[in-house]
Structure 1
Amino acid sequence: MRTDPEAEQATESVPRLTEVIARRLAADPTVTVDVAAAVLQALGTESPDRAMEFDDSGIFLRSIRVRGFRGIGQEATLNLPPGPGLTLVVGRNGSGKSSFAEAAELAFTGGNRRWDGRSAAWREGWRNLHEPDATRIELELLTAGSDSELTIAKEWAPGTNLGAARWTEQRPPAPPTDFDADRWSALLELYRPFLSYSELGALVDGKPSDLFDALHQLLGLDELTSAQERIRTRRLELERVVRDSRQARLGLVATLESVADSRAVRVAALLRPAQPDLTAIGREVFGSADDPSGRAGLRAIVRLAIPSGAEVEAVARRLEECATVLARDSTADAEADLRVLGLLSRARDHVVASGACACPVCGRGDLDDAWANDADDSIAALTARVDALATARAELHSAVRAARALPEHVPSELDFDPGYPPTVDTTAVRRAWSDWAALTSADYTAQLPDRLRCAHARLVDELDLLQQGTRKELSRIDEVWSPLVPRLVGWLDGARQVAAQSGVLRTVRRAEDWLKSATAGLRGERMAPLETTARWVWHSLRQQSNVELGAIKLQGNAGTARRVLLDVTVDDVDGAALGVMSQGELHALGLSLFLPRATVEQSPFRFVMIDDPVQAMDPAKVDGLARVLAVVAWTRQVIVFTHDERLAEAVRRMELDACVLEVQRRERSVVEIRMASDPVRRYLDDARSLLKTPQLPQAIADELVATCCRSAVEAASLARVRRNLLAEGMDHREVERYVEGAHTTRAMVALAVMGVSGRVDDLNKHLAREGKWVVDALRDATAGAHVPIERSMRDLIADTEKFVAWLRR
């Protein structure tokens, strides 16, 4: 099996992106641990290869069955060789060939690029006029795996619109299920295997960002784009917080400068530097956050209360009244009687406690019961005489206690507080209150009532002045400072967060710069194989063109202008691609960009379908196109629809392996498909032509005829090998390994008829079951290319044709 180095380079597997990034981070000595962690976190857990999420691969087209769609009326089936190879579907305009291509695209993708942007009238003619009520598209596929058969179908009920189809997929013998468009859509967008004529130009002259995004995604870098966007978003969020904090700080400074408040002045001074002292600001702000400017203390001062003037006057008058009564009742006789009453009362208590005894005063008389009785009479008489004086003294003592109870100690609210504004000075009130409080221990004097009155009046005046000033200060605070405190507290919280995340912002910025650089490097590395293939395709197609395609570069990043730069020179002079290229050259360039995208190794689609790529191409480019398609067909199923006979003619002329199917449309949209040419037919036709060439010596003619017969057998065997092994679910790469291992004609036939477990030595025994003629035909076809055989070449051709027909069953 032939291989093309440039084609192999284009299909090398792409390493897992997260592994590549992790290795590069580890190998870069300038990358710190936090930067590496930020990059890997931005990458997240997404799969770097979205094709890995798709459980089907190695998809080939086996047939397209269409009924009642576009130019096809009654059901018609386009059978395709389901494996690598080139198939040309030819037919004149209006034959219905493009209807097969559009039907396949519609059934696969749910849409048709050829119709995009067209008027409604263009889309309304999708039903066939001769079969308007029975519209169905069915695609038979072969996939890798044990369940290799897959059918995708779209069917419309009569009268329904284009979007109302029943879309199903089926793996026999299971019943059909709804087509899972979500499962297919990402892969069809990334590795789109369909290309129509209308898209050829659009690939180049469409929106610059569309081609950029498609190639960027194809290179497996869409996750890097997502990671860059995450890091960029995170950076913008952090920078926005910093910017908002700075603007809020400047706004606070401007506001505080207009406030006549000492604390506002201090906080404004702390806020002016670009990097303010948050700790100092916190002390200022949180010292008054719950009680801005000592507002609670100020309110406590306002709540301070002292006895009213009426209460103080009442106590003072009582003192004076009690003193007047006491002075009136306090005579010499009353005082003497009071003293005697005291002595008798104590002596009587002593007798009661100790019993009869001698008089402790004179020592001559006895204090006995008789004395006690006389003493009781005397005590009663004296008590009656001194009652007014005793009552007056008790009343005065009670009045003094009431006077002492009026003052209180100096309250703590009047203590010095540095948080109080200068307008709130408690010094005078503390002095007045101290004088007032001193009366709590004052003994009675005649001046006590006036001292009460004076101390109270002074305290009332000083406290009233203080409370008036305090109320004014509270009003000012409520109007000016208090509303600023929540703003300051909110800003301080944000500023602390900004300070805490300053390191994070630096890390994110470095991670973003590193990822941009890494993306550019990876983009260039992964673009190189596609660029090489695109340049090879262009070089093959440009035949006789003076336009040379150089580097293909992706310029831009997520969030910026994005485009694909095409390095084009005209006669070795730099030029702008679109400005200097003809329509045919633009189409050739479109193919150069499409084929590398559609044939990367990661694509699950092993087929590409191209509709009318030959238009606007000159004959030299058609020859180049044939060669390109033939090379791509070594590893892909390439299906080309064309009304231009030049491509089929070029394939025949250059003896390129291809299956040519001809589509004809008869009356009432009846479409027929017949085999126009395939490698087996071509070899047999060549053998017959050689047989009819009289100029050739007989021996040489016989050898060439046998060689053609052997090639026909090999081609038929190869087709059967691919058909059988792919149908068994074998991966196409494994199939190609078996094909490449079949080095002889007999080995290829053995692989075709006995499978991978068969042995070449058992081939004749296996073929003999069909008949001796099969053994003889294979023997003569292989031997006749080297030595003369005892059989006419005409019979060899007939038996070879019969043999390949048997192989195709």
Structure 2
Amino acid sequence: MRLEWLEIRGFRAFGSEARRMDLTSNLIVVHAGNSQGKTSLAEAVEFLVTGRSSRRDLFGGAKAEYNESLRNAHLPANDPVWVAAGIRNDAGIIREVRRELVTDFSGATDCDSRLTVDGEEVSSLSFLGIDTIEGAIAAPVLLQHTLRYVLSTEPKQRATYFKALLALSDLDLFRERVRAQAADLEHVSTGPGLLSLQRLSQTDLAAFAIKIQQLDVPNRETLRVSMEQVLLEAGTDVLGRESESISHLIETLDQLVRERNDLVFPLNDFIVALPTEFPPVPDLSTYIEEIRRADEISATLLPVLTAVLRVPEIAHIDQPVDCPVCLTADGLTPERVKDIQTRLRDTTQLSAASSAAENAVRNFRTHLQTWANSVKNSIPSATAWDHTREQAVASAAAGLSTEIPVLLTAALEYVRRIAARAQEVVDAARHVDATAAEMVDLVHRRVNVPDGATISLVDLEELLSEFLDELSADNEIVSLRTAVQPLLSTRLQSEGTQDLLDVLRLLEELVAEQYSEKRRTIVLQRLKSADGALKKAIGTVLDDRFAKMSSAIMRWWGSIRPEELVGFAGVKRRAAGAIFVNLVAALQADAEGNAVERDALGVFSDSQLNALGLSTFLARAELVQSPFVFLDDPIPGSDGDHRLTFCQNTLAELLSSGFQVIVTTYDPKLAELAQTLNESWGPITYDLTLLNVAEGTEPVQSSDLFSNYMLQGEDGLNAPTAVGRRGACTAYRSAAERLAKQIIATNRTASGIFTSVTDVEQEATMLGDLIPLLGPFTLSADEKGKWQVIPKVLNPGNHDDGAPSTIELKQIRGNLRQIAKAHKQKWGRDLIR
């Protein structure tokens, strides 16, 4: 897999102009001065692969400090931002990968983007052979802030990084899930069935409870049968006789417990039950409306008239007949019969309304009676005690404690009081029923309901509200029960009859809970065993993987810093754990001496730490089989002594190992070495320039003499001494002469006179001689002036006169870039090189 091209628009230093770079070589070398877009290029590739920016994850500061940091600051808010690449797969097919920025960073909110391949949205590029790993460094892109990440991060986070890198995160995740499952099983709350069994184990029937706890059977049904047998044995022990079944045993024990409790104290006689819900009052509005619409006499006679017309001889008469009601001779004529039929049709709706109303009121009376009975039944049965029973209970109360008789007296007074209130409620209900009975009669007779003769519940509702308030309050019965209940439990606790009854009633729950408990114990033991095995296995696998990675890091370290007495000894776990990881250095006094191991962070120099960070990154890329690596300033300028080893050894090994390598650097010497030493790979070189911040960084291919001379000039551009800047003067003068010859040769050839750069050199070689020949071919008035200024600024630097300042050199460099850009835009590929 190879990157064929890269296109960027609107991302950081890249602006309104979409910039495309040809990447059809295995080695791409990009040179750029400071603030020209070099790091933006690397971060664009990172964004393309991951959709994120490691800068925000690894730098300090608040998240809000990275607001709107991906979009070029000079672009309108709705301008599109994208990074795209052509990726050639193993079959030679080029797929277009494109990531568009949807929303930039905002406060704590992450950025959002859309990734497509050939226009189809995808979630990752793994199917193209580009995998990302967990953690901040997810892409095969080495940036300055990621160079030392694995070194500067805490040992625990370093372990997480290496585990993700070495595809060991799944092992940790699996172990975490095993441990979480075990923790969940350890903290399962005890169910009601097992709790009842625990209470039984503290009574005289403890032997039966223990026997149940020790049951170990293969399935739930067998466990149930075994439990029933033990419980029936316990019932025989309590009752002195066998029971037919579990249900029969429950019934017998329930009766026994009630009898025993009543012998101690009849607390059940003080149970208060709330009455049922009051029935809804019937709605007579439809009937009342219909009856008022009809004539009162017609409504009263409606049943009579209906009966008359049901006689077949009358319904179809064609001559007068005697009236069967008033016995008037010839009182019913055919016309009169038709009139009655018409009136009956008009009152059909009244008949239906009256029938519905009558049924509704009758049903209400039935439900009202049932409700009144529930009010009577809500009164505790203690109200029915006679004097003898009351004295017997008072005697039992005195035997419980000194406070119980007082509470008993208050409770009896309370039940008598609510009994009286209940009777008032029942009497009010009877009054309501009497009114309802009158309503039934009126409706049955089709008589209008007089004003004020409705079913009123005002008095009943007031009495009922007072009654219910007194029932639900913390009353004397509550106080009595609170005091007596613990005493009853204590008196009967040791024998266990009540606890046995509780277990029997919760038998289904007990069977399910104990069966699950046995299975849970087995699974918990297996999970803990698996956790121990996984911990040991993870350590073994880590050691093996670390050994392989250490070997890779050592090899890359040796390519950058060969034959040094300070070396790298490997990635190692701290002690026997798998949580902390150290990077170990090997120190030798001489080439033949034994190495002393120390933590690399404590003994490596700044330069060595940079080399270790680079070596670790390359080992990572090798282990995950990344198809390409992007190295942003891999050798810092302060470590110039190792430029040659990097370009000659490290780059050569990367290329021969099958990697596509993209190197960006601000160091012109490193760029020149990388290109020259690896010329056999046909490298493509670029210069990045930022002439217009709105249009953005522009990559220009520099695989020609002009670009090479410009690159050489960068080395002495910022030199503090005149001697150092003279080298830049020479390079920029050579670049100007080369560009002038190209422009002259191109224009003469375009006019029909074929001319090469060599032909121009034979005519004029020095810049002063070339400038007059350039006159007709300049593209703007200021270009002529710039050509005139160039030798005036650069010539003193080529002689013993004082060299120009860095500011002047930068101005000349900018002029040459602008002139070259203008002529390249005009001639394109036709510009003779």
TM-score range, shorter chain: 0.3 to 0.5
Q: Give the TM-score, by structure 2 length.
A: 0.45
Structure with higher RCO (Cα < 8 A, 6+ apart): 1
Q: Which has the larger radius of gyration?
A: 1
Q: Give the TM-score, by structure 1 length.
A: 0.46
